[in-house]
Amino acid sequence: MQQKMFRLVLFFSFFIKLANAQSLLEHQDKYTLADTLRGSLRPERTCFDVTFYELNVRLDTGRQSLSGSNRIVFKVVNDFSTLQIDLYANMNIDSIISDGQRLKYRRQFNAVFVDMPDTLKKGTTGEMTVYYNGKPTIAKRPPWDGGFTWTKDNNGVFWLGVSCEGMGASLWWPNKDYLGDEPDSMRIICTVPNGLKCISNGNEEKEVTNADNTTTFYWKVSYPINNYNVTLNVGEYEHLSDVYVADDGDSLALDYYVMPYNIIKAEEQFKQVKPMLKCYEKYLGKYPFWNDGYALVETPYLGMEHQGAIAYGNKYKTGYDGRDYSRIGLTFDYIIIHESAHEWWGNSVSCYDLADMWIHESFATYTESLYVDCMYGPDTALKYINAKKSSIGNKNTIVGKYGVNEEGDGDMYSKGSLFLNTLRFIVNDDPKWWSIIKGMCDTTFKFKNIGYSDVVSYFNQKTGLNLTAVFDEYLRQAAIPVLQYNLKKAEGDTFVLTYRWHADAKYFTMPFFISTGGSEKVQLNGTPNWHRATITLKKPDDLHIRNDLGYFDLEKTKD
């Protein structure tokens, strides 16, 4: 992500992060003006709302550079004469044109402040075109360290992939690089040497062969899109197509763009897509970007959730690059399952601020378990979720710092999934729980940008419970709650269980379950105060406090 040192905690927690999208920023106590300009909503950003981008780039594969333009169409939210766009300082701006006039601009770090010739009035619309060129940042370790991957395929043919989550789309094209402002639609135009194909987001509109031995590809995105999801994939691609039929009979186009020597492998591996889409439709609703279709695009890096053009680089292996990422023996292709989940969580339901990237990653990781539940059953799904515990550090908060373009800890993946599983058993009503999950991404927040408070309010309203302190404990505190308990024999088979929660969040209360030797589970409610419950046990070891149904630590206190 940004050009900062990466944190190494434990090897396996680092490995877990590598299995998911982008690497994390190192947490820091001091932030620069550059951080604020990139991450905050200042007047020069709040004054306009982007409605459309038309990005037009020409690639120089030999020099590893590009040139082109981006037409930015916007609504005026507040009167302004200066606005901010973003483009990395190593990229050159040739000119900025609006209504035939060359606009004045000035740079501060990677921010570009553009002066309009006249004050634009609230309620009107405007547009400008930024002409630029340069050599985009080269990804040192894609996709975790973002940028361009210029390489060659197994046949020695040029192959390019782009990945820029965290570092931001402004590393290669000028835009309002703030997660909370997505264009309503977009066109991507890419010119490459003849013999190569450029695969981007959405639907291909046309291909034009030019007189200078190049081909121009036109792609159109008809939905809102995160800037970091905009991508280019250039290579000697072969196209495979299929169709998924939804429960209501609608047909969804499936497009697979693969290296020519991997066609047979792809035909077999991508058979996992239709059952996955069926499972996700059951739990989350229909694929959100229906008119743009679903696509997997083979990439020279592991994977990324690019909207409608999901980057696939798992080399047609099971698990994560051939390793059993599930840790319980499941053999599905992790990259297909996880990155596709982001079409609902992250691409449709999106966060405003990078600090709330957990909304993308926690829900997407939890969705893996929904796939497992659907394909292998609920008992296996529960084992799958709990197998992730060993990778969690509980050293930093899942929610990051707002306004400085910093996301939270990598625990947002595994810990976030376990947190959501904990909420499920707090609700203790599966029909209600599944309706809450589905309603969140299929209706309430579909194609919307949201933040922490939106999620908490939604769950409080839909569950009828006050879950504010529970969210605070798991997402805004580093440590997880500890259930302190003691078991004493009373007489015969009667025992007295005393218990309370030790937690960092104020006013923390949460139910938990116990089993007493049988398969039935009993729900108890814990608070920071000591409580007593009389239970019947044949022997003390028959007491099982079910921290597989909730994520918390246990501490047995002394008599």
One domain, residues 539 and 437: no
Integer Cα distance of 313 and 65 in angstroms: 23
HSE-CB for 313 with a 13 A CA cutoff: 23
> What is the Rg, in whole angstroms, of the alpha carbon atoms belonging to the chain?
25
Integer Cα distance of 366 and 389 in angstroms: 13
Integer Cα distance of 72 and 87 in angstroms: 13
One domain, residues 404 and 518: no
Tens-digit pLDDT profile for the chain (559 aa)?
A: 333 333 333 333 334 444 444 333 444 567 999 999 999 999 999 999 999 999 999 999 999 999 999 999 999 999 999 999 999 999 999 999 999 999 999 999 999 999 999 999 999 999 999 999 999 999 999 999 999 999 999 999 999 999 999 899 999 999 999 999 999 999 999 999 999 999 999 999 999 999 999 999 999 999 999 999 999 999 999 999 999 999 999 999 999 999 999 999 999 999 999 999 999 999 999 999 999 999 999 999 999 999 999 999 999 999 999 999 999 999 999 999 999 999 999 999 999 999 999 999 999 999 999 999 999 999 999 999 999 999 999 999 999 999 999 999 999 999 999 999 999 999 999 999 999 999 999 999 999 999 999 999 999 999 999 999 999 999 999 999 999 999 999 999 999 999 999 999 999 999 999 999 877 899 999 999 999 999 999 999 999 999 999 999 999 998 6
* Residue at which a domain ends, from 206, 227, 248: 227
Q: What is the pLDDT of residues 389-448, one digit of tens each?
A: 999 999 999 999 999 999 999 999 999 999 999 999 999 999 999 999 999 999 999 999
One domain, residues 74 and 119: yes
Integer Cα distance of 44 and 67 in angstroms: 26
Helix-strand-coil percent breakdown of the chain, rounded to 5? Answer: 25, 35, 40
One domain, residues 411 and 517: no
One domain, residues 42 and 176: yes
**pTM (whole model) above 0.85:** yes
206 located within any domain: yes
- pLDDT recorded at residue 29: 61
The dihedral built from the CA positions of residue 472, 475, 478 and 482, taken in this order, carries a sign that is positive
Q: What is the CATH number of the domain that holds 375?
A: 1.10.390.10
- pLDDT recorded at residue 30: 79
222 located within any domain: yes
407 located within any domain: yes
Closest CA to 130 of 83, 69, 177, 64: 69
Report whether the peptide linkage leading into residue 193 is cis, meaning its omega lies within 30 degrees of zero: no
One domain, residues 395 and 523: no
Integer Cα distance of 555 and 546 in angstroms: 13
HSE-CB for 169 with a 13 A CA cutoff: 22
238 located within any domain: no
One domain, residues 76 and 38: yes
* Residue at which a domain ends, from 227, 254, 270: 227
One domain, residues 81 and 96: yes
- Is-contact 389 414, C-beta < 8 A? yes
Token pair 């659907």 is found at 374
One domain, residues 397 and 542: no
Q: What is the CATH number of the domain that holds 191?
A: 2.60.40.1730
**Strand runs (DSSP E) across 28-64, as ranges?**
48-60
Closest CA to 336 of 349, 361, 357, 317: 317
132 located within any domain: yes
One domain, residues 444 and 503: no
**Beta partners for residue 134, in sequence order:** 66, 91
Q: What is the pLDDT of residues 310-338, one digit of tens each?
A: 999 999 999 999 999 999 999 999 999 99
One domain, residues 220 and 367: no
* Residue at which a domain ends, from 444, 476, 508: 476
536 located within any domain: yes
471 located within any domain: yes
Question: At residue 525, what are phi and psi to the nearest 5 degrees?
Answer: -110, 130
Element housing 361 (H / E): helix 358-376
pLDDT > 90 in the chain, percent: 92
3-state secondary structure of 401: coil
3-state secondary structure of 210: coil
Total of domains in the chain: 3
One domain, residues 392 and 410: yes
- pLDDT recorded at residue 14: 36
- pLDDT recorded at residue 520: 85
Full residue range of the structural domain in which residue 84 is found: 34-227
451 located within any domain: yes
